[in-house]
Amino acid sequence: MKHHKAQRKLGRERKSRTALLRSLVRSMVLHERIETTIAKARELRPIVEKLVTLAQKDTLATRRIIAARLGNDIEVSKKLHEVLAPRYKERPGGYTRISKLGTFADAKRDKAIIEFV
């Protein structure tokens, strides 16, 4: 039974799925807008929003937590703390937006853009 299994598998095993989501988070933070499938965007949204909320505290502990979740990527962690967190300081949540684009030409998967508001 699939009780308490809320996340999507995205057709991958656990390690490759976490690597995929980690790389999507890095791209999202660096470029502030990425194009992907709707399923990946919906899995990505809560991860990014929790990281931005953590970055707003700006303590050594939150810096270490964010660095650990991003695979010790200093550039992304720095941008989260210095650019994105101050931008959304007054906003209580909802930092991202998902817009549907249609389908990919080769496969019948729906495209979406996920971006910061």
Region 20-44: mean pLDDT is 95
Residue the block writes with tokens 């709707």: 38
Fold classified for 33-116 = 50s Ribosomal Protein L17; Chain: A, (3.90.1030)
What's the pLDDT score for residue 76?
A: 93
Tokens of 107: 């496969």
Mean pLDDT is lowest, of 46-55, 83-92, 97-106, for 97-106
Q: Give the integer Cα–Cα distance in Å for 97 and 103.
A: 18
Starting at the earlier edge strand, list the strands of the sheet with 33-37.
Answer: 33-37, 110-116, 96-103
pLDDT tens for each residue of 43-87: 999 999 999 999 999 899 999 999 999 989 899 999 999 999 999
Average pLDDT of the chain to the nearest whole number: 92
Query: 104 - beta bridge partners?
Result: none
Q: Give the integer Cα–Cα distance in Å for 109 and 103.
A: 5
Query: 98 - beta bridge partners?
Result: 114
